Amino acid sequence: MKIGGIDIGSRYIKYVLLENSRLIDFQRKETGYNPMSVCGELLESSKPEKLVATGYGRYLLEIYKNTKTITEIKAVALGAKAVFPNAKTIIDIGGQDTKVISLNDKGDVTNFEMNDRCAAGTGKFLEIMAKTLGYDLEIFGQHCLDKNAGIKLNSLCTVFAESEVISLITKGEKREAISHALHDSIVSRVMSLLKRLEIKDDLIFTGGCATNACLKSMFEERLQRKVLVHDNPYLQAAHGAALYAMDS
């Protein structure tokens, strides 16, 4: 039986297809301005018998297709637990949300924290800053000085931080140094959420931003713990939704 999990995020729609509990397909497409048509394209070819939607746009499928939904917090917990059986703490940084999640031994969510309404410390922040510094988002994390060059960004607000970055550029600061400071500011933001939870190993980093090696190593340094990232950190929430569909 084919089972689908779809994660309608603010930047990308991620789709996982399971067959006999084995992951047989993963796709990722830009959400764009018409997410319903993107979902249609993704679902068209595979025609899953069961489907669960998650992510910011989950209601779209619920309203138009009567699809069952779960929150991305539950979905990411299920998806992370499936690939990292000892997962206890999750950092998930997506396009517009940052979440930190605590799990018990069984994998149930026992506590979580999430950023407020603004994009401070999220993927969107990283994306805009990469653009301001002239990097592609995919390689942004590779262009980061290893050490702090004495620059600290005072603002976490995307709009204010961008002006701060521009003023650093005009002062002649190296962009790798500014890049370090930007990554550092995201990590600080997430640390303030993490401090409200009890951090336990294994610590898993998921979401699009987990592809950024600089963020991963900064978390490891600050937390003095190993941070585990799956080969494809985009897929955990969609995978979790599919696993939920399978069990329901």
Partner 1 sequence: MTKDYKQMWNNLDINLEAHDGLLAVLSDAYQNIYLSQHNRPEGMKYFDFVISEVHGLRIEEILEAKKERRKVIGTFCVYVPEEIILALDGVCIGLCAGADVGSDEAEKFIPRNTCALIKAFMGFKLAGLCPYIQTTDLIVGETTCDGKKKAYEIFDEITGGKMYVMEIPNMKGEDGRTLWRNEVKRFAKKLEAITGKMIALEKLNEASKIVNARRKALQRLSLLRSFEPSPISGLDALLINQVSFYDDPVRFTAKVSELCDELDERVKDGSGVSKKGIPRILVSGSPMAVPNWKLHAIIEGSGAAVVGEESCVGERNFGVILDDGFSSVEEGIEKIADRYMNIHCACFTPNDERLSDILDMAKRLKADGIIHYAIQFCTPYMLEAFKAKKALDNKGIPFLRIETDYSMEDMGQLKTRIEAFLEMIGKGVRV
Chain residues that interact with partner 1, rule: CB under 8 A: 52, 56, 62, 68-74, 97, 108-112, 114-117, 244, 248
**Which residues lie closer than 8 Å to 85 by C-beta, 6 or more apart?**
none
Half-sphere exposure of 188 (CA within 13 A, CB side): 13
Closer Cβ to partner 1, 78 or 229, answer by number:
78
Give Cα 70 to chain centroid, integer Å: 16
* Ramachandran bin of 81, using left for φ above 0, alpha for ψ from -120 to 50, beta for the remaining angles: alpha
For residues 226 and 203, is the Cβ–Cβ distance under 8 A? yes
Closer Cβ to partner 1, 116 or 136, answer by number:
116
Closer Cβ to partner 1, 215 or 241, answer by number:
241
The CA-atom distances, in angstroms, between 76 and each of 82, 101, 138 are: 10, 9, 22
User: Least separation, in Å, of the C-beta of 14 and partner 1?
Assistant: 16
Closer Cβ to partner 1, 63 or 139, answer by number:
63
User: Least separation, in Å, of the C-beta of 208 and partner 1?
Assistant: 17
For residues 169 and 205, is the Cβ–Cβ distance under 8 A? no
Give which of 7, 195, 11, 234 is closest to 113, Cα–Cα.
Answer: 195
User: Least separation, in Å, of the C-beta of 114 and partner 1?
Assistant: 6
User: Least separation, in Å, of the C-beta of 18 and partner 1?
Assistant: 17
Q: Can the peptide bond before residue 231 be classed as cis, meaning omega within 30 degrees of 0?
A: no
Closer Cβ to partner 1, 119 or 186, answer by number:
119
Q: Which two tokens stand for residue 179?
A: 């890049």
User: Least separation, in Å, of the C-beta of 194 and partner 1?
Assistant: 16
Closer Cβ to partner 1, 51 or 130, answer by number:
51
User: Least separation, in Å, of the C-beta of 108 and partner 1?
Assistant: 8
